[in-house]
Each structure stands twice: as structure tokens, then as C-alpha cells.
A = this chain, B = another copy of it.
Amino acid sequence: MTKKLEVCLSPALLGLYDVKDYVVVIIDIFRATSSICYGIDNGAEAIIPVAEVEECLAYKEFNPDYLLAAERNGEVVEGFDFGNSPFSYTTEKVSGKTVVLTTTNGTQALHLSRAAKKVAIGSFLNLTPLCNWLKSLNEDILLVCAGWKNNFNLEDTLFAGAVAEQLKDFDYKMDDPAIAANDLFQLGKNDIAQYLKKTSHSERLKKLGIEADIAFCLQTDITTAIPVLTDEKLVRLR
């Protein structure tokens, strides 16, 4: 039977979908879901995304061995183990550990999606393994773009379009946002970094001095783990 492949372009639009009918993929390319994919692939036991620095600290109080990750204005928050750069999520640093990560856009999208059949984490890093898993499920799929301050952004939408590209020849019916995302991916796919240079978000990130992070997050298929939400934690799908 034909399944749905739909794209929610911003967490502010999630109320339009009955998430319990879907397998949801959360997308926050710069940088939360890229860092999560890399960290879980490198053996992190779990990653717990929270919205506020204070929540991070509360976790640490009861779990002194947890690693804390938070940035404010591009700097690691004092007393924290590292920031949000994917380069912090190496095997050496995270293997066997639980990381509590502050992320505003991504956390909200996750929180609103908790009622879904399954919640997975997507990024260019695990694109093809993710798509192969999605195809195997035979379920309606909702790709949720975390966006920027609750609005549409190009990088998350382009990734949604990359997922649509791998699924569209199978038996999925795409909604207008999925069609648009896929068309935008067609325009950008030959050089995604170049395509995204014209966006305002890219300029903002450049000011933060994280060009190396951006280049890292745009690598395709360098990991195989699929992080999934289980009991409020993101763990490797087994």
C-alpha cells in the first residue's frame, strides 16, 4: 500500500500532523543532529538533548560521570566538557559515555515528536543507512526540520530532500513540502556547501567561526549508526 512521505518544514507546523501515525526523523544539520549521529556512531552510550544549560547541570548533579555539552555565543560554557562541534564527539571522548547536549531548535522538534511510532535522528552523515532503514519499515514517514528559530531553513530542508531522493522511487506519496524539498535538493546536490553559501544562516554560522564544522556536517555517509529515541534518550538502533 502506498505510504506517505511528508516534510514538516518547521517545528511550528508540527501541530498540523498527527505524529502518532508516523515514524519521525528529526533534522538539525548545523549542528545538533550531525553531532548526535557522529557521537552515537563513535560509541556514546546515550545522548540526552535538553533545551537549557541549567537542565544539563541538573543531570550532572545526579550522574557525575555524564559529559555536558553546551555553547553560548560560540564558546564552551564554563565548567562544561565541550561545545556543540561534531569534532567533540570523537570515539576518544564519548565512547561508553552519556552526553547531555543543549540544543534549542533540535530539542523542541524532538519534544513535540515524542508521541510518534518511532523517532530517529538524521543528518548527511548517516543519510543512506537511515534511508535503508526507513524503507524497511513500511510506515508513513514525517521528516521534521528543526529549522532556525522555529522558521524554515535551507540546510534542513535540503537534507529532507536528500531523503526524499532515496525514497521517491519506492511506494511513497509525497506532500508539497516533500516535493519542494526534493526539488531544492536537485538544485543543490552537486555542491551543497556552495548552494548553502547564499543563505543567511550560513553567514551567521561563518561569523561564529565554525566553517570547519559546516564542512564536516555536509559529509555524506561517513557513519552507519541510526540514533533513535528510547526513554527520553537517544541511543544506537540495534
Contacts and interface: CB of A to CB of B under 8 A. Distances in A.
Interface of A: 9-10, 12-13, 15-16, 148-154, 157, 173, 175-177, 179-180, 183-184, 186-187, 198-201
Contact of A179 (B10, B175, B177, B199): B199
A145 B150 CA distance: 17
Interface centre among A148, A152, A173 (most CB of B within 10 A): A152
Interface of A is mostly: helix
A151 B15 CA distance: 10
A41 to B, nearest CB: 29
A100 to B, nearest CB: 28
A209 B199 CA distance: 40
A10 B17 CA distance: 14
Given A12-B16, A16-B151, 13 more contacts: A9-B152, A12-B13, A13-B150, A13-B151, A16-B150, A151-B175, A151-B177, A152-B180, A153-B176, A154-B179, A180-B180, A180-B184, A183-B184
Contacts of A198: 179
A195 B15 CA distance: 28
Contacts of A13: 10, 12-13, 150-152
A151 B13 CA distance: 7
A198 B183 CA distance: 12
A154 B184 CA distance: 12
A35 B232 CA distance: 50
Contacts of A179: 154, 198-199
Contact of A200 (B16, B153, B176, B200): B176
Contact of A184 (B12, B149, B184): B184
